Structure 1
Amino acid sequence: MSTTTPSPAEGLSYAAAGVDIAAGNRAVDLFKSHVKSTLRPGVLTDIGGFGGLFALDRDKYEQPVLVSGTDGVGTKLRVAMLMDKHDTIGIDCVAMCVNDILVQGAEPLFFLDYVAVGKLSPEKVATIVGGVADGCRQAGCALIGGETAEMPGFYAEEDYDMAGFAVGIVDRKKIIDGSTIIPGDVLIGLPSAGLHSNGYSLARKILLEHAGYSIDTHLDELGHTVGEEMLVPTRIYVKPLLKLMEKINVKGMAHITGGGITENVPRVLPKGFQAQIEPGSWPIPPVFSLMQRLGAVAEDEMLRTFNCGIGMVVVVAPEDAEAAMAYLTEMGEANYRIGQIIVHGEGCAMPASVTYTGALPWTKAEGT
């Protein structure tokens, strides 16, 4: 018995399979102006080539070291999809990458993005990439390339995912690795804008499932809707901290993302040292108190899941702390002295860790 494959009335095409090349070309045309707005010295290529070219200024560095980082935005993307608001999510993607390489003293040079969609809407992709370009301008780096992939049958039509890739540079002698941190050094915290881009699986469970809020629910405690709060972009700390490093000997930095203060600060400390954090030394944004109360979330869980109001921690010598804080203030960057470095009670063989001197002062809602 023989079988034959039915012949389609018309020849099959990539578009018939769900991939629209023309729409992809239109998306590129729409976001080209965003990309050009991020150009900086060193960029040698325009968008559309097979690779982005960037020339290093070797005269600026004795021993240039490239620092790279990659990250995504996580389930914050689901909130953007629910709200059908896509102009800021690209800022988050850039922030998660450039803040990470910044902590090693690196100046971000260029960025590439990857966006995968179920069905390509040129206007939506251009809006997403516009946010990426906004983040790049904030970080002072160039958007020199990327990829938009239409993947029907893999993603639902309205769904998408994104990731980013940043490359920066630092002189070898100026790499910040925490190796010079000693007991008595001071921890300076820079405030977050809110949730930033981590802990969203728990945040969505508390706010949208357990509490039963919708993205359009307006809460006086927040001053706007739940969705608007959840889409506040991640702060980019590059420009003020690069300037600070020119003035002050910064010994270590920690980007407070997944793992919160509890997990991220020890990543920059030598073994045997402990960061002693002083709760109440910085203001806690209302969204964290709200989630802690609604979800009855244990404090240690809050501190190892969310940033709880601190997006970046800087470690300096005690004699430099006052000058560092004054300079940050002069640049318009709020900052708080949130703790100090101490010797771990068990000695130098113990892993670095964080300890808290008390409980965080969670804000209660009016009438509770």
Structure 2
Amino acid sequence: MNDGPGRAPLLRARALHKTYGTTHAVQGVDFRLMPESYVTLLGPSGCGKTSILRMIGGFEDVSSGMLELEGQPLNKVPAARRPINTVFQSYALFPHLSVAENVAFGLAYRDLGREAQRARVEQALAVVRMQDFAARRPRQLSGGQQQRVALARAIVNEPRLLLLDEPLSALDRRMRKDMQIELKDLQRRLGVTFLHVTHDQEEAFALSDWIVVMNRGQVEQQGAPQDIYRRPRSAYVADFIGGSNVIPGRITARQGEEARIETALGPVVAAAEESLRAGDAAALCVRPEQFGQAAGSAFEAVVTHVVFAGSGWHVELRAGQQELAAQFTEPPETGAALRLGFDPARVWIARAGEAVA
């Protein structure tokens, strides 16, 4: 992340490892969280993102490597003494306590008088717009309201860092969209750094200032959302974060920021990941919306499936042995042969790699 002049990271992970028996869940991870930022750990199940979150929260020991909070070692600090709170996927609310009592539970180990505690609880509930529900029990609340109570219980301690472990996964699609807006707004109003774990790329893009893409316990790429979307470093990232068509090939020439790649669709000259050199295996990344019907210098593909997708039509095609996906405003006939093309200035050449399972 771009630190900016005179800015120091709030939290830094250096060569972070976590093993469970013979399983190496986290393998040499490095990243920084800047103050007042919204950062997402993004990746599929089993990629190590929740293990990282639990090590930061103090719920798991660090196998090797270092965590530092504001420049001070964090590894040996007990969870209860870290200025860090966690919002869990299950919300973990106590069913026999009221909303206000659930929030107050977060202050159980703070040396506060009754009036000071009450004021803190009222303030936290007001921040998440739940002050009118203070006397209710969790079972009397919707999923979104329970999520807000869990957030209030986490922020009542005024943490320096808030960890969110798949906090929206139990909500329906509409409620997730609404809560994304509320989470981003809450983070901005509080000025607290949020570290959010998710497998949902749309959620990550909607919320984040910075995204860390995980793959098999390692950082595959990290950066601002727009940079990761436009310039994925690998075929894995291109596929995972946006469903790109990943067309394998080999680099035959490199000049400046561009490279020439030979693919099943023919040769293409386009902007390329900086480490690629002539002879390297690579992947041409073309997003479905970048394909268009063309004449002249193009390639032929046969339509195999057509699905209505609301704002347009999702079309699957086959060009020789290469399967492709495109988005059209008008549906072609299944079985039709089309000539397709794309603007080389809009596509990207990434490192070769595995597809997302």
Band the TM-score falls in, shorter-chain normalisation: under 0.3
**Higher share of residues assigned helix:** 1
RCO greater where, 1 or 2, for CA within 8 Å and sep 6 or more? 1
**Higher share of residues assigned strand:** 2
TM (normalized to structure 2)? 0.22
TM (normalized to structure 1)? 0.22
